[in-house]
């Protein structure tokens, strides 16, 4: 399967002439990359994806796929695969007919359609369910049909709009692994829209964190987590302590803070709450100067060794803090 | 436990005055709807030459009279023919209208919707009179196609309403999924949109057929002597004879309407559309 790079060049989209959904976004997505658009609802991630798909036309800026300007190419000629949050399966067609749809639109000969549908269904472990209607499938199975339907046309680009959002936690995790594995095996460029930072960190090669129509930061999951550039990114990804005592705000991850005897520490404080999260405990500590800190302490499976009301000392290395732009 | 005796038998529903009243009201309404039909049924099979009660026996003489009268038969065929044409036209026009209103991003959409629904709000007798005068004014007289057009005008809102209801609940991502898979807008329409809205359109079509087949006030102005639809013929007949033939004709009308609903149900499954 060949894959293609995607480039958004200063793309802007306004709705009803006033609501700015996407504001001058530039993205360079490499061929074969697992790229996530991450942000809260209304940040413009879905609109960006819909502009790549061709459902929305940018007010200004260009969209390139595989080095070719496709801004004016209609949806049905873009040759992309897409998986929707609601799956958007054809309810009046069987599983096999759903998967065959894209091939039929491409006038692929019937024997080849049958062969490719069978292999696509095998790929997502749905062999045997060909004759079912989508309404007779579980959410996870519908998700797989949607995936098979998108992949069977061997698209250059696979677009996913919160595809795992409707699944329960366990199934979602399993599908995360499967999707990631499938993407790596096929080498397809995958653009993944999500508001779930854990999901984005777990699956992506690179992440673009979006806020209010703009890209706040682009980087690998480690970069985004370890070196957030803005207060928004630091706050949106995982738990964070914001230190406002210097000339610039700084961010400090809860696991970078050590708890110990108050005498040898930077700050003295009292534990307010202790949340056992399995293998680690997340403490909320009230420091002597009345600031609240989140501290994550890992331990070997035992329940929290400290309890609310315990006096503790907080220490950290200055090298573990990250300066933020604002 | 002894203080809360109701808990001892959790499966037995205690008598509930509200629920009883609700069921009672429904039964009364049902009786109000169905009893007249039962009475017609009785008269249709009663051999007496006038409407009387209690019936004195069972006979098919009124059905025989109805089916052997060329006046009744011509009217029946005309009514069926007109209703059939109205069904097709109303489905085409109402369906297209609904699509345009739901999808077209037209300015003044709610005004347009109200406009297309307005034949439902006007008294049909007014519609009939207005059309009669217009036809006279334009000088087209009272041809059968004029009658079909008039019925279609009254029937379109039914199709419009049922189709709009389906389109309102339509997940447009399904169409987007088809487009991204390579279907041109035309193919999206025929492969996805049309099959999914079809139950709504045809449910409206059934209404259109029945509205036309039953239509009296509009037809009254627009039929010509010897070219009258069944309701008009029945009305005229009733002015002079009030015998069982009227009841027999009514039974035939009812059975025909049921037949149309059943056939369409079989063909396209109106069940998908009961939440109308």
How far is A119 from chain B, CA to nearest CA, in Å?
18
Q: Chain A partners of B200 at a C-beta cutoff of 8 Å?
A: none
Q: What is the DSSP string of A122-152?
A: HHTT-TT-TT--GGGS-HHHHHHHHHHHHHT
- The answer to whether position B68 is within a domain reads yes
Hey, are the CB atoms on B179 and A105 less than 8 Å from each other? no
Hey, are the CB atoms on A105 and B182 less than 8 Å from each other? yes
Place of tokens 């803005």: A230
Hey, are the CB atoms on B184 and A76 less than 8 Å from each other? yes
Say yes or no to pLDDT of B227 above 90: no
- In sequence order, which residues have a C-beta less than 8 Å from that of residue A246 and are 6 or more positions away? none
A311 half-sphere exposure, CB direction, 13 A CA radius: 8
Percent of chain B with pLDDT over 90: 32
Q: Using 50, 70 and 90 to split pLDDT, how confident is the model at B181?
A: very high
Write out pLDDT tens, residues B95-153: 999 999 988 878 888 888 888 888 888 888 888 899 999 998 988 888 889 899 999 99
Is the peptide bond between A85 and the residue preceding it cis, with omega within 30 degrees of 0?
no
Say yes or no to pLDDT of A17 above 90: no
Hey, are the CB atoms on B176 and A55 less than 8 Å from each other? yes
Q: The domain that contains B223 carries what CATH number?
A: 1.10.3720.10
Q: Chain A partners of B273 at a C-beta cutoff of 8 Å?
A: none
**Are residues B142 and B33 part of one domain?**
no
In angstroms, the CA B29 to CA A305 distance is 71
**ipTM surpasses 0.90:** no
Of the listed ranges A110-124, A312-326, B156-170, the least confidently predicted one is A312-326
**Are residues B248 and B113 part of one domain?**
yes
pTM of the full predicted structure? 0.77
**Are residues B68 and B47 part of one domain?**
no
Yes or no: say if A100 and A151 are a contact pair by the CB < 8 Å rule: no
Hey, are the CB atoms on B173 and A84 less than 8 Å from each other? yes
Paired tokens of B201: 């359109």
**Are residues B223 and B168 part of one domain?**
yes
How far is B57 from chain A, CA to nearest CA, in Å?
52
Domain that holds residue B40: 17-59
- The answer to whether position B11 is within a domain reads no
**Are residues B146 and B77 part of one domain?**
yes
Q: Using 50, 70 and 90 to split pLDDT, how confident is the model at A1?
A: low
Q: In what order do the strands lie in the sheet with A258-260?
A: A258-260, A311-315, A267-276, A280-287, A292-298
**Are residues B162 and B37 part of one domain?**
no
Say yes or no to pLDDT of B10 above 90: no
The more confident residue out of B202 and A116 is A116
In angstroms, the CA A113 to CA B96 distance is 34
Per residue in A228-238, is it b (16+ CB within 10 Å) or e — as a string?
bbbbbbbebbb
- The mean per-residue pLDDT over the stretch A28-38 comes to 95
Q: How many domains does chain B have?
A: 2
- The mean per-residue pLDDT over the stretch B71-75 comes to 88
**Are residues B82 and B52 part of one domain?**
no
In angstroms, the CA B75 to CA A293 distance is 88
In angstroms, the CA B209 to CA B83 distance is 5
């Amino acid at each position: 399967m060949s894959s293609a790079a995607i480039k958004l060049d200063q793309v802007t989209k306004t709705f009803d002439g006033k609501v700015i959904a996407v504001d001058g976004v530039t993205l360079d997505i490499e061929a074969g990359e697992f790229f996530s658009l991450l942000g809260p609802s209304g940040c413009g991630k879905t609109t960006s994806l819909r502009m790549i798909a061709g459902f929305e036309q940018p007010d200004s800026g260009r969209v390139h796929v595989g080095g070719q300007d496709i801004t004016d190419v209609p949806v049905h000629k873009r040759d992309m695969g897409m998986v929707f949050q609601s799956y958007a399966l054809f309810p009046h067609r069987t599983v096999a007919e759903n998967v065959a749809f894209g091939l039929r639109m491409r006038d692929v000969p019937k024997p080849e359609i049958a062969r490719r549908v069978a292999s696509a269904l095998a790929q997502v472990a749905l062999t045997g369910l060909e004759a079912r209607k989508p309404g007779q499938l579980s959410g996870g199975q519908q998700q797989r049909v949607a995936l098979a339907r998108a992949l069977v046309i061997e698209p250059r680009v696979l677009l996913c709009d919160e595809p795992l959002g409707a699944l329960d936690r366990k199934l979602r995790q399993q599908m995360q692994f499967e999707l990631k594995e499938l993407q790596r095996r096929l080498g397809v460029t995958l653009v993944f829209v999500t508001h779930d930072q854990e999901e984005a960190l777990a699956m992506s090669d690179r992440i673009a964190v979006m806020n209010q129509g703009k890209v706040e930061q682009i980087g690998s999951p480690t970069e985004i987590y370890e070196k957030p550039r803005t207060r928004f990114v630091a706050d949106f990804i995982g738990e964070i302590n914001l230190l406002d005592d210097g000339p610039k705000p700084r961010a400090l991850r809860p696991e970078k803070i050590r708890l110990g005897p108050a005498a040898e520490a930077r700050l003295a404080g009292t534990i307010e709450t202790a949340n056992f999260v399995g293998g680690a405990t997340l403490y909320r500590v009230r420091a002597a100067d009345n600031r609240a800190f989140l501290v994550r302490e890992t331990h070997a499976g035992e329940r929290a060794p400290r309890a609310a009301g315990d006096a503790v000392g907080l220490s950290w290395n200055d090298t573990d803090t990250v300066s933020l732009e604002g | 436990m002894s203080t809360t005796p109701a808990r001892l038998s959790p499966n037995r529903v205690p008598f509930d005055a509200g629920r009883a009243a609700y069921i009672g009201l429904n039964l009364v309404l049902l009786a109000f709807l169905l009893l007249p039909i039962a009475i017609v049924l009785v008269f249709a099979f009663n051999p007496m030459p006038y409407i009387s009660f209690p019936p004195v026996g069972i006979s098919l003489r009124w059905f025989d009279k109805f089916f052997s009268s060329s006046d009744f038969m011509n009217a029946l065929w005309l009514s069926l023919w007109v209703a059939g044409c109205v069904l097709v036209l109303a489905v085409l026009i109402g369906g297209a209208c609904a699509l345009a209103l739901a999808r077209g991003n037209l300015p003044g959409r709610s005004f347009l919707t109200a406009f297309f629904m307005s034949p439902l709000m006007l008294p049909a007798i007014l519609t009939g009179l207005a059309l009669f005068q217009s036809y006279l004014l334009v000088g087209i007289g009272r041809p059968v196609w004029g009658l079909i057009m008039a019925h279609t005008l009254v029937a379109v809102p039914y199709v419009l309403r049922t189709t709009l209801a389906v389109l309102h609940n339509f997940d447009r991502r399904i169409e987007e999924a088809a487009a991204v898979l390579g279907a041109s807008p035309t193919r999206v329409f025929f492969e996805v949109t049309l099959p999914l809205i079809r139950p709504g359109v045809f449910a409206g079509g059934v209404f259109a057929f029945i509205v036309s087949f039953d239509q009296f006030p509009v037809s009254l102005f627009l039929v010509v002597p010897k070219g009258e639809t069944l309701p008009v013929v029945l009305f005229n007949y009733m002015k002079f004879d009030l015998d069982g033939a009227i009841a027999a004709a009514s039974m035939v009308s009812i059975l025909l309407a049921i037949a149309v609903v059943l056939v369409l149900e079989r063909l396209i499954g109106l069940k998908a559309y009961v939440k109308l």
